[in-house]
Amino acid sequence: MKKMRFVLAALPLVFLASTPPPQDNPMTFFITSAGPGDGANLGGLAGADRHCAALAEAAGSDGMTWHAYLSTTGSGGVNASDRIGTGPWHNSKGVLVARDLAHLHSNGVNLTKQTQLTEKGDEVNGRGDSPNMHDIITGSQMDGTALPGDDDTTCSNWTSNGEGSARVGHHDRNGGGQNPTSWNSAHGSRGCSQENLQGTGGNGFFYCFAIN
């Protein structure tokens, strides 16, 4: 009888020992820790994508293709939502922020100041911090598509550091504008220069997503 009790007591230990440890989720989403430094002139979509890839590589990410969450307008214009794959996406701490495109553009998406981290794992200053840097450039509507009309909402498709405007979101889901709680489409920037991006509460940062 004593022998049987010993065997039964050992069973849970055997089960626990054979359970594989949870796997870490690689980073597939981040806010840039720095922009290229020329306002909203990112060198177009290609330049923005290269910047995402360079930051990710410097942070230790390997073997992924990175695209900036940016829309463009005019002939050949593209939607940000069409550039970033299908998900799921995790931040630099391995936390799930969105399962797929529908979740990403829904009210239930897990995008907050605490989850929208840089590639280094840092929080970005939000409203109430000094300086405020919560404006993240996207050139997009809340569903991830380019804005219609003739107004410049993409700083000449991310090639201008002067005239024009960039549609921005609030990564902390807080502030002013037409859609103050939107992470991707809160309002337009004052202009396209670094000074004007900073003047409306930003710093030229943008979102990067791994598409594979």
Q: What are 135-183's pLDDT values in tens digits?
A: 999 999 999 999 999 999 999 999 999 999 999 999 999 999 999 999 9
Whether 10 has a pLDDT exceeding 50, the answer reads: no
Beta bridge partners of 135: 170, 202
Neighbours of 26 (CB within 10 A): 14
d(C-alpha 87, C-alpha 98), whole Å: 7
Q: Is pTM, for the whole model, over 0.85?
A: yes
**CB-neighbour burial class of residue 103 (10 A; exposed 0-12, middle 13-18, buried 19+):** middle
Whether 3 has a pLDDT exceeding 80, the answer reads: no
Beta bridge partners of 170: 135
What is the structure's pLDDT at 24? 84
What is the structure's pLDDT at 2? 46
Whether 17 has a pLDDT exceeding 50, the answer reads: no
CA dihedral defined by 158, 162, 165, 166, rounded to 10 degrees?
Answer: 40
d(C-alpha 65, C-alpha 176), whole Å: 34
pLDDT, average across residues 112-138: 98
pLDDT, average across residues 37-43: 97
Residue with tokens 């829309």: 71
Neighbours of 104 (CB within 10 A): 25
What is the structure's pLDDT at 7? 39
Domain 24-210 matching CATH 3.30.565.10: the answer reads no
Q: What are 18-39's pLDDT values in tens digits?
A: 443 434 899 999 999 999 999 9
Q: Read off the pLDDT band of 106 (50, 70, 90).
A: very high
Beta bridge partners of 209: 29, 67
pLDDT, average across residues 85-101: 98
The domain limits of the chain are 24-210
Average pLDDT of the chain is 91
